[in-house]
Amino acid sequence: MPEKKMEGTFYIDGLIEGPIFDSADQQALDALVNQARGQGITLHLSTDGGRFSFLADRKPVKLQNQNIPAHSVISRLLDDWLVNYSPQQCDALMSTLRSAEYLPGKERQTIYGILPEGRISTQQRTVDADTVPQPIPMDRKSIIKASCFAFVIILAIIGISSFFVPYKQLAQQFISNIKPYDTEELSVDCSRYQSIFNVEKKELDKKNNVIKVSFKITKQYPFTKAQLENAWKAPDLSLDQKLALESLARKCLISEFYDKDGKYIGKNDSRIFAEPDQVDIVYILLPYNRDIKSVQLL
């Protein structure tokens, strides 16, 4: 079934082509493109080998002024452009341009030719067509009424769906995602290592998508194998202290991650690095995840 055409619209087909006579022609060609665009008409300009061509876009265009027919608008645009050419030059231009304008139940077809005297000649015919009228714009009262009705419907949908959709949780998640990430809000529990180091700084590395946690070490930090063995032999060493020494011996800390409600997210093995220019600072790199609100070092 053929598509019905909307009254008050038109489209253009075909092209205009010819030689480029001098450098001033380019300005005239660009001016025509811009003037046509101001009327909602798209002309694709192509220049190659000293010649140009305008190819019309077949996209339907709505008449800006319903009292001025489409062929008059198009003819005026082309007439204004042709004043830049002499009669001899106009004779070298060729047009296969045509348009179709839709009226109630009719289609007005127009062909555009170029006369040597620098004017556009048109040939027309009108045929029957299956058209539909343009939708009538809503007045302000109707728009307000429709908006209120839509608002009530949306509230009803939200009210019913709230039994199944956690809107509050989604809103909190959305707000959390758009807020700038503050590393100071990240809690790092290193109580197992309290006699060995303490948290010094937390920094976000956006480039590598990691969080750098730096620790200030104490004199009890065992750098060498001998220091580790001596610390291990200390009397009354608790299980937590032994596990901490084992992690330091492996130069790797196990980190467990939790969300804001204390729910477990996951864990990660973090390599211990030393700051080259600060002998009393070591650091680990943790994966960046906005849901992680607290970290516990094991």
Within-domain flag for 206: yes
How many C-beta neighbours within 10 Å does residue 169 have?
Answer: 9
Sign of CA dihedral 145, 146, 147, 149: positive
Check residue 99 and give its pLDDT.
93
One domain for residues 19 and 85? yes
- The rounded distance, in Å, linking the Cα atoms of 83 and 80 is 6
Single out the residue in 132, 150, 173 at which a domain terminates: 132
On whether both 209 and 270 belong to a single domain, the answer is yes
Q: Which two tokens stand for residue 20?
A: 């480029």
Does any domain span residue 165? no
Dihedral pair phi/psi, residue 297, rounded to 5°: -90, 125
Structural domain that includes position 97? 5-132
Looking at the structure, do residues 126 and 188 belong to the same domain, yes or no? no
Residue 83 in domain: yes
Residue-level pLDDT at 1: 47
The pLDDT score that the predictor gives to residue 167 is 61
Report pLDDT for 157. 77
How many domains, in total, are found in the chain? 2
Q: What is the pLDDT of residue 151?
A: 79
Based on the fold, state whether residues 124 and 193 are members of the same structural domain: no
| 273 within some domain | yes
Strand residue runs (E) in 14-118: 15-19, 43-48, 51-56, 61-62, 94-95, 98-103, 106-115
pLDDT < 70 regions, the chain = 1-3, 138, 161-179
CB atoms within 10 A of CB 124: 12
For 239-270, how does the pLDDT look when each residue is reduced to its tens digit (9 = 90+)?
Answer: 888 888 888 888 899 999 998 889 999 998 99
Q: Are 201 and 289 contained in the same domain?
A: yes
Q: Is 172 inside any structural domain?
A: no
> Is residue 168 included in any domain, yes or no?
no
Query: What is the CATH number for 55?
Result: 3.30.70
